[in-house]
Amino acid sequence: MGQDEFSPSTVTSSPLLLQSPWALAPFAAAAAATASSPTPFLGYGGSPWAAAASGDRGVELINLLRQCAFDVDAGSLERADACLARIAGLLSSSSASASSASPTGGGGGGGGGQATRFHRLATIFTDALARRLLRRPLPGAYEALLAPAASSDPLLVAAARRHFFDLCPFLKLAFLTSNQAILEQMEGERVVHIVDLAGPAADPAQWLALLRALRARPEGPPHLRITAVHDDPDALHRTSALLSKEADAHDMSFQFHPVLSRLDALDFDSLRVKTGEALAVSSVLQLHSLLPPAAAAADSNSTAALALRHAHHLSPGSFGELLERELSLGHGHGRGHPFSPSPDAHSLAPTPPHSPRRIESFLSGLLALAPKIVVVTEQEANHNGAAFCERFSEALYYYAAMFDCLETTAPRSAAEWGRVERLLLGEQIRNIVACEGAERRERHERLQRWAQRLRDAGFGHVPLSFDALLEARKLLQTFGRDGYKVDDWNGCFFFCWHERPLYSVSAWRCNRLSS
């Protein structure tokens, strides 16, 4: 296969008659996006399009943020500080303008809402740049600034994750697709063991749906054991209670095995995989935390190439469209239960420095378990490049699309998506931009890189089925919102906002089990 085998493209796609508890209620119609005509970006220091667009500060913000990223990376403290001051002034005036234009201070997607969206996203990136600026000259101040974010109320963070699950279809699609792949591979099996590696991204809804689907099999349900790996004992307890109650209500043979551990401290022996079990593994948005920094020379996703590759991936009037215009030139600087922790679970201590072989060791351990199916969901982005400015531009582009889809599909849920932006997406941005070394865990990479890594580890690709595609699209129809898409590319699924892929799902199996 060519090197683009796992690169997304716009293709006609198709999913799973499984009873889903994730019925997606339609939201009120989003306000129409403001269209604007593209004008070439003629220089890093200024844009004729921005000058001509009276009152629109979006392009200026983008220029300033990218210039600030360059200055921060170069260690130019005075220049970066001056740039941050200019950004702060621009954000302040933008906020005042948006408040005066709207009695509520934040529209649902019109002109005022668009300005507010710029303001919110730019504010988070500015905060992250300021933290990074302090890392080397003032490490104490940097640590003090990071501490409040690290100690965010776990209940508020959990609520933000729930809001994201409710407001956007991405996690529902990931769970649905993973379940369908597991169901198909486990057809006819009498003893099924599922290992859930999702940790903080896990939701009992995924496994409640799977229990119901297994119960409906013509041959009857198998004996099912679910092992969940999580570092939160309360989450493990809640999941155990919900799944056990569901299984008991329908007289299903079921066991829940909690493993209290972080993924990077997991002892595979603690999973208690037994001979004769058909093993499935589900990982949702977790494996990237095991990655080492990518080598700059190996990073082919330059800002220019990225912009050209995704030139059509944006909806009119979105912040992402502004980014597309400004990046098009490609400026480079621009639970009541006794839990049995993994033997290494005592190390819920700071993560050791990233070993280049940590992900390889993990995949090798996974392969040794001989799973029939491994389903991997990851962000479809390159936030692990060694070159900071390119990583910054990629993150700005990616999260602009995330903010667009979140606000325009849930315009009347401002409090909820505000929490998602601050406590979930905002913390990811800060980790990508402000942190390095062991602190930086949001090391997202695109499926093309994951595919090569999994193949090198001894896994073979399992194409996701046409039935899975049909079911995913059916789920999106119940959501009732335009803009979301599921694309199939060589048996892998990409969940998109318009034409921009944001998440990927792929399935794999141990090569020695392949016929």
For position 157, what pLDDT does the model report? 87
Which run of H or of E encompasses 486? Answer: strand 484-489
471's tokens: 């079911």
Q: Using 50, 70 and 90 to split pLDDT, how confident is the model at 147?
A: low
For position 401, what pLDDT does the model report? 93
Q: Using 50, 70 and 90 to split pLDDT, how confident is the model at 28?
A: very low
Are 286 and 198 a contacting pair, CB within 8 Å?
Answer: yes
pLDDT digits (tens, 9 = 90+) for 167-187: 899 999 999 999 999 999 999
389's tokens: 């400015």
Are 175 and 209 a contacting pair, CB within 8 Å?
Answer: yes
Per-residue exposure over 312-328, b if at least 16 CB sit within 10 Å of its own CB, e if not: ebbbebbbbbbbbbbbb
What is the C-alpha to C-alpha distance for residues 121 and 318, in angstroms, rounded to an integer?
A: 12
Write down the mean pLDDT value for the chain. 76
For position 72, what pLDDT does the model report? 92
For position 514, what pLDDT does the model report? 58
> How many Å is the Cα radius of gyration of the chain?
23
Spatial CB neighbours of 58, under 8 Å, sequence gap ≥ 6: 50, 114, 115, 118, 319, 322
For position 125, what pLDDT does the model report? 95
- Angle subtended at Cα 305 by Cα 13 and Cα 405, rounded to the nearest 5 degrees: 50
Name the percent of the chain lying above pLDDT 70.
Answer: 68
What is the C-alpha to C-alpha distance for residues 260 and 280, in angstroms, rounded to an integer?
A: 19
Query: How far does Cα 175 stand from its chain's mean position?
Result: 13
Most confident of 112-116, 153-157, 233-237, 336-340: 233-237
Taking residues 452-481, report their average pLDDT. Answer: 93
Strands (E), 147-211: 191-196
CA distance readout (Å), 34 to 110, 221, 272: 7, 52, 55
More confidently predicted of 103 and 78: 78
pLDDT digits (tens, 9 = 90+) for 98-119: 555 443 444 343 334 444 777 8
Pick the CATH number of 169-290+335-381+444-491 from 3.40.50, 3.30.70, 3.30.310, 3.30.1380: 3.40.50
Q: Using 50, 70 and 90 to split pLDDT, how confident is the model at 343?
A: very low
Query: How far does Cα 507 stand from its chain's mean position?
Result: 17
For position 294, what pLDDT does the model report? 62
Q: Using 50, 70 and 90 to split pLDDT, how confident is the model at 36?
A: very low
User: Quick one: residue 272, left, alpha or beta (phi over 0 = left, psi -120 to 50 = alpha)?
Assistant: left
496's tokens: 């998109």
Residue range(s) in the chain whose domain bears CATH number 3.40.50: 169-290+335-381+444-491
pLDDT digits (tens, 9 = 90+) for 359-417: 999 999 999 999 999 999 999 999 998 899 999 999 999 999 999 988 887 766 778 88
